Amino acid sequence: MGTRTIIPFGPQHPVLPEPIHLDLVLEDEKVVEALPSVGFVHRGLERLAEVKDFHELVYVAERICGICSFIHGQGYCQGVETLLNVEVPPRAKYLRTIWGELSRIHSHLLWLGLFADAFGFESLFMHCWRVREKVVDIIEATAGGRVIFGSCKVGGARRDIPNDMLKGIKTELAAIEKQYNELKPTFLHDNSVKRRTVGIGTLSKETAYALGAVGPTLRGSGVASDLRTLGYAAYKDLEWEPVVEQGGDCYARTAVRVREVTMSFDIIRQAIDKIPDGPVDVKVTGNPTGEFFSRLEQPRGEVVYYVKGNNTKFLERFRIRTPTFANIAPLVVMLKGCELPDVPVIVLTIDPCISCTER
């Protein structure tokens, strides 16, 4: 046994825009144990349900995180709509699908850029973010905000996207996808990228499932689990299937996200082709009663919103289980046995969102 030392990783680190801390127990350069610490900026947003009425709380839900903001709002609304037995108009479901997939594309492109930056591929980072910027432009044109959409409400959507604008978006997305396709081979086939990702931070299919991994972390280990299969929003009307890789390593988790961006382009195209005309919201009356676990697929994986109503305008309990929280235990296992220089790369491959985790 070599000399054991403990290296603190984070909470401030060049690859971490948000604070998470790991105590890394090393034998020489090999990690033998990793102990995570979170909670440096826990906000306690869930308790705001006691003072914000259930219509207002969607604004809080959207602000849990700046990357998956729309899907946070959507998940909350779907939970409350179930308690109220509200049927959302079909057009609103399609709009939610389109905005949700735009979120997924910009989130994955953001992550791909950060990941390239983590292993020192600066130009690849810049190209990813250049392409992402055009997706964010579409979000701004349709929702009015680049980060916070403010477009989801209990009962449907707060605004519509005109049909002629949807056609323009389809054309614009074709141009963006063409640029994106030029980046894909670098992530999937470049030798310098593969040397930092193949065989690094491997998580077996059985371990990933047993540890409750979600999203690309789970699918990268060969488990075809994607909550969009439940058929919420317009997904039940569209043709798609979960993106799965078998390697279980950093490369596999990256490949899942690379391929999911392409699938999201396709889902948006289908949604634009099939979106029905009609209203985008319904009038909501009454107060929520009962309890429900609303589950959706965020870019980082399964997110769970527990809403419990007591027939008042304030929820009795609002609880969010974010994907990063679920991926902490798998991360600890991935890090065991890796080399110290690989730690930042492995940590990034769960796409940690501490803003979500510190809800």
Partner 1 sequence: MNMIEPQPMTAIDRVRLPAQAKDLAARGYRLVQICATDGGETLEVTYSFDCDYSLTNLRVTLLKGDTVLPSITGAYLAAFTYENELQDLFGITVTDLAINYNGNFYKMAIKTPFLRNNPSGAV
Binding site for partner 1 (CB under 8 A): 35, 37-40, 42, 44, 46-48, 50-51, 78, 81-82, 85-88, 209-212, 227, 229-232, 236, 292-293, 295, 302, 304, 306, 308, 316-317, 319, 321, 325-326, 328-330
Q: Please report how close the Cβ of residue 46 comes to partner 1 at its closest, in angstroms.
A: 8
Q: How far is the CB of 188 from partner 1 (least distance, A)?
A: 29
Q: Minimum CB separation from partner 1 for residue 296, in Å?
A: 11
CB of 327 to partner 1, least distance (A): 9
CB 154 within 8 A of CB 77: yes
Quote the CA–CA distance of 12 and 326 in Å, as a whole number: 22
| Helices and strands (H and E) in the chain: how many | 13, 8
- Helices (H), ranges, the chain: 57-62, 69-84, 90-118, 122-143, 163-189, 191-197, 205-210, 216-219, 250-274, 323-326, 328-335, 343-348, 354-357
Q: Give the tokens for residue 56.
A: 């207002």
First to last CA, the chain: 41
Q: Report the candidate in 136, 61, 64 with the shortest Cα–Cα distance to residue 99.
A: 136
Phi and psi torsions of 93, nearest 5°: -65, -40
Q: Based on CB atoms, which residue is closest to partner 1, 84 or 193?
A: 84
Give me the sheet containing 21-27, strands edge to edge: 4-9, 21-27, 30-37
- Shortest reach from residue 232's CB to partner 1, in Å: 5
- Cα–Cα distance for residue pair 187/350, rounded to 1 Å: 16
CB of 325 to partner 1, least distance (A): 6
Q: Would you say 50 or 140 has its CB closer to partner 1?
A: 50
Smallest separation, CB 338 to partner 1 (Å)? 19
Residue nearer to partner 1 on the CB measure, 262 or 287? 287
Cβ proximity to partner 1, 42 vs 274, nearer residue: 42
Which is nearer to partner 1, 118 or 213 (by Cβ)? 213
d(CA 179, CA 183): 7
Task: Please identify, using beta-carbon distances, which residue of 188 and 282 lies nearer to partner 1.
Answer: 282
Looking at the Cβ atoms of 134 and 209, the one nearer to partner 1 is: 209
